[in-house]
Structure 1
Amino acid sequence: MFDSLSDRLGGVFDKLRGRGALKEQDVRDAMREVRIALLEADVALPVVRRFVDQVTEKAVGQSVLKSVTPGQQVVKIVNDALVEMLGGEETVGLTLDARPPVVIMMVGLQGSGKTTTTGKLARLIREKHGKKPMMASLDVNRPAAQEQLAVLGEQTGVATLPIIQGQQPVDIARRALQAAKLQAIDVLLLDTAGRLHVDQQLMDEMKAVSEISEPTETLLVVDSLTGQDAVNVAQSFSGEIDLTGVVLTRMDGDARGGAALSMRAVTGKPIKFAGTGEKIDAIEPFHPKRVAGRILGMGDIVSIVEKAAETVEAEEAERMAERMAKGQFDMNDLRSQLRQMQKMGGLGVLAGMMPGMKKAKQAMQSSGMDDRVLLRMDAIIGSMTPKERGNPALLNAKRKRRIASGSGTQVQDVNKLLKMHQEMTKAMKQIKKMGGLKGLGQLFGKGGMDAAMPGLGGPGQGGSMPGLGGPGGPPDLSNFLKK
């Protein structure tokens, strides 16, 4: 979603970093380009004005212009302002520790993804928070809306309120509350009706349901692809209903991202979740600091670690760690790693989250390199015999031709995979020489991340990777790599 904005801002800041000293006019010229980039990204005009004024005021100070790295300092100021625009340092989650049943009321326009988001949140509450949720559909206007929620309940293993035809939203809410109390439900999610546009009838219905259910959370679901319309909808709802947060859907789309950047500033309510796809598990907490890092090309290491924690099986991780420590790495291990990358979102997603990988991601796209590469590699390894996977040294010209034919690839593709495996095997042996993962952590500890991996840090951070220890001390990479 933020690719276009990220490219524009990256070009502006590359110019600043390339200069040894900055004048006030240089900063003002850069801020003018930032202003244009934000407006083209469909960010609300009042938000853009406030953002640019705030950054300019801080960036033209003598402490910045006369610092050793003025360009980096300006980028850091922009990063901090961007984090503030998106909601600040801390992530705001759901309030689930109130007296049960905790009621979460989902509101929004028709077509915003409200019902699907209700199912996603119910699954998240059950699996991540260990609570017992129940869903109830109050949408009596849209055909099959109640049936859709019932299907989502079956998919996620979450109870749904039985449907009684002809019952009105307020009566359904009252019945849902009674059922939740009788069944010892921890969290009750109410999927309210939507409209094609905001009208008074919709607002009156929302208010009546709110009075009956007394929700702890009232979440506005907004389609981020609708741009400034999303901001207008949010303003309309926040003026009538006491919202506690916003959920942005379709954040994986190719819209310009202005709705996400404007929402917090316009409504004053935190963005709590972001929908990142159609699958039932494609929802994640909205982290302002991480999103800002992605926009400015600083990466999001923490999200990569979290994705790994969600997809890696503990036993497989233990086995892999032991083999790495011994310097062992065969084709079965490589296949396991390739499949792991697919589970975590593929090459594009991972490259977009790595610090300093923006240009590498662009190069991958321009050369036609995508997740099909992973599938081809997996097919090549699948065409090998178990003996060949365990000992790639057996692969002679005849065997390579057989493998290429069996996987629908070329012999040169097989050779590329073998070369990649050889390089990774060398890396494993180097780790073994340093004493395994512990030794690698000690190596980084001698000079910190800066000494071992310069240039991967964020602006003004001395090169330290975001999320892996700041300039105040070296990160514990041995624990990080084990995880």
Structure 2
Amino acid sequence: MFENLSERLERSFKILKGQGSITEINVAETLKDIRKALIDADVNYKVAKTFTDEVKEKALGQDVLTSLQPGQLMVKIVHDELARLMGGTTVDVNIKANPAIILMSGLQGSGKTTFSGKLASMLKSKRGKNPLLVACDIYRPAAIDQLKVLGEQIGVPVYAEIGNKDAVEIAKNAVKFAKQNNHDLVIVDTAGRLAIDEQMMKEIAAVKAAIQPHETLFVVDSMTGQDAVNTAKEFNDRLDFDGVVLTKLDGDTRGGAALSIRTVVTKPIKFVGTGEKMDALDTFHPERMADRILGMGDIVSFVEKAQEMYDEEESRRLSKKLAKNQFDFDDFMGQLTQIKKMGNLKDVASMIPGMGKALKDVEFDDNVFKSTEAIIHSMTPFERKNPEVINGTRRQRIAKGSGTTIQDVNRLLKQFDEMRKMMKMVSQHKMPFKRK
């Protein structure tokens, strides 16, 4: 996401950095190019103009022209303004009540049902909540089934009333059910439409009035660009929602919705969806997103993802094995599993400063580990524990069993041996990082 915008902004800053002296004229030229870059990224024209006007005012007010490093100061000003444009600070979802009720709204196809499942999974695993998903989409035949499949996938019950065509009654009954069954979180999935219509608006407004949710979220497909912003405004005028969820930010999106929506509806972006998997959901951090847009990476999110996967007891066990050079293929498989849990490899790698640009044209296959896993699974338990016994005959059998070549098996064994030596050296000098 934002790749094109990042490239355009980088080129804009080069206009400034390439000058022998910095003047109001080339500052204005840089800002003009930035405005074009924002508009090309599908940012609302008024938002783009106001943004560059604010940057210009702050740039001239902070003596960019006489600064020793005007280019760097300009990048900082743009960074701070981008963060402010997207809300400035992270805003948490309101789940303090018992039960806390969250109402979903949005057009059909925006990803409401999938997001409902993702949010239930996130709040269950990270906040210790006992959620109940509620199927209030009474028009789309597959909606209830889809929610039930997601609920089963994440271990969360789904409340549905087959045959009942009264969404308000279903929502009210679901809240009663939650109170009776000790669910401290109720997530209500509502009906969407192909376009905004009066019937839909009246229905969801009636559901909101009946259950008095503590949080109403507007779910929007970020790939729809300015249409997303216009739809958000119409929904907000009727529902006065509390926050925005941007889905499909991993797709071919120019990012305009993320940069415009906060200004147009004056409501915070609270979550971003970055894939189809149930764990592909992130809390929205304006400053971190500004870092990523300007190619600075997002090392804080990277460390947080790593810490989520970090098991202190497992780390101690591995440290002892590494010190004795006993790291084996079973341990290696465990590490691969942890890496895969961190999410899309390219997205994770792009969080590291400088990596986003380096990986721009690199295609990452999420199945990149499949052949490695197949080779390891084709080994016997004894071979996984004792890689040094894998001779030529064993290598032939492993290659045949995994559907790979002997060269693939040889390459993996060589890489594993080199990695084991390197990890032993590291373990003798550094301990694994610990939570603070």
Give the structure-1-normalised TM-score. Answer: 0.79
Query: What secondary structure is seen at the aligned counterpart in 1 of 2:120?
Result: helix
Deviation string 1:450-477 (CA, Å, 9 cap, x unpaired) is xxxxxxxxxxxxxxxxxxxxxxxxxxxx
Quote the residue 2:257 is aligned against. 259
Look up the equivalent residue of 1:375 and give its one-letter code: K
Instruction: Kindly report which structure 2 residues correspond to 1:17-416, keeping only aligned pairs within 5 A, or say none.
Output: 17=17, 22-61=22-61, 63-88=63-88, 90-98=89-97, 100-324=98-322, 333-362=331-360, 364-365=362-363, 370-381=365-376
Deviation string 1:418-447 (CA, Å, 9 cap, x unpaired) is 6644654554355356x433xxxxxxxxxx
Look up the equivalent residue of 2:42 and give its one-letter code: D
CA–CA distance in structure 1, aligned partners of residues 333 and 146 of structure 2:
38
Moved more, 332-341 or 280-289: 332-341
Aligned residue pair count:
436
Look up the equivalent residue of 2:22 and give its one-letter code: L
Deviation string 1:359-418 (CA, Å, 9 cap, x unpaired) is 3213534xxx64454334444555666676667677788877776666555666556556
CA–CA distance in structure 2, aligned partners of residues 301 and 254 of structure 1:
23
Unaligned 5+ segments in structure 2 are none
How far did residue 352 of structure 1 move? 1.0
CA–CA distance in structure 2, aligned partners of residues 160 and 51 of structure 1:
44
Is contact 1:335-1:378 (8 Å) kept?
A: yes
Look up the equivalent residue of 2:430 and give its one-letter code: G
How far did residue 109 of structure 1 move? 1.3
Moved more, 18-27 or 388-397: 388-397
CA–CA distance in structure 2, aligned partners of residues 333 and 176 of structure 1:
45
**Change in 2 beyond 3 A, CA 1:432/1:17:** farther
Quote the residue 1:464 is aligned against. none
Query: What secondary structure is seen at the aligned counterpart in 1 of 2:103?
Result: strand
Quote the residue 1:6 is aligned against. 6
Is contact 2:218-2:244 (8 Å) kept?
A: yes
Look up the equivalent residue of 2:93 and give its one-letter code: L
Deviation string 1:155-207 (CA, Å, 9 cap, x unpaired) is 33323324151441222233223323333332222222222211222222222
Query: What secondary structure is seen at the aligned counterpart in 2 of 1:353?
Result: coil
CA–CA distance in structure 2, aligned partners of residues 177 and 235 of structure 1:
28
Look up the equivalent residue of 1:6 and give its one-letter code: S
Query: What secondary structure is seen at the aligned counterpart in 1 of 2:360?
Result: helix
CA–CA distance in structure 2, aligned partners of residues 153 and 65 of structure 1:
57
Look up the equivalent residue of 2:287 and give its one-letter code: K
Quote the residue 1:479 is aligned against. 433
| Identity within the alignment, % | 51
How far did residue 48 of structure 1 move? 0.7
CA–CA distance in structure 1, aligned partners of residues 14 and 380 of structure 2:
49
How far did residue 127 of structure 1 move? 2.4
Quote the residue 1:457 is aligned against. none
How far did residue 105 of structure 1 move? 1.3
Moved more, 313-322 or 299-308: 313-322
CA–CA distance in structure 1, aligned partners of residues 335 and 14 of structure 2:
34
Deviation string 1:219-276 (CA, Å, 9 cap, x unpaired) is 1111111111111100001111121011111122112111111111111111111122
Is contact 1:137-1:161 (8 Å) kept?
A: yes
CA–CA distance in structure 1, aligned partners of residues 424 and 105 of structure 2:
56
Moved more, 301-310 or 226-235: 301-310
Is contact 2:58-2:77 (8 Å) kept?
A: yes
CA–CA distance in structure 2, aligned partners of residues 53 and 233 of structure 1:
26
How far did residue 314 of structure 1 move? 4.5
Deviation string 1:24-49 (CA, Å, 9 cap, x unpaired) is 33322222222111111111111111
Could you tell me which of 411, 423, 430 is aligned with 1:436? 430
Moved more, 356-365 or 43-52: 356-365
CA–CA distance in structure 2, aligned partners of residues 69 and 418 of structure 1:
50
Give the structure-2-normalised TM-score. Answer: 0.87
CA root-mean-square deviation: 3.1
CA–CA distance in structure 2, aligned partners of residues 323 and 383 of structure 1:
23
Is contact 1:113-1:221 (8 Å) kept?
A: yes
Look up the equivalent residue of 2:193 and give its one-letter code: R
Query: What secondary structure is seen at the aligned counterpart in 1 of 2:359?
Result: helix
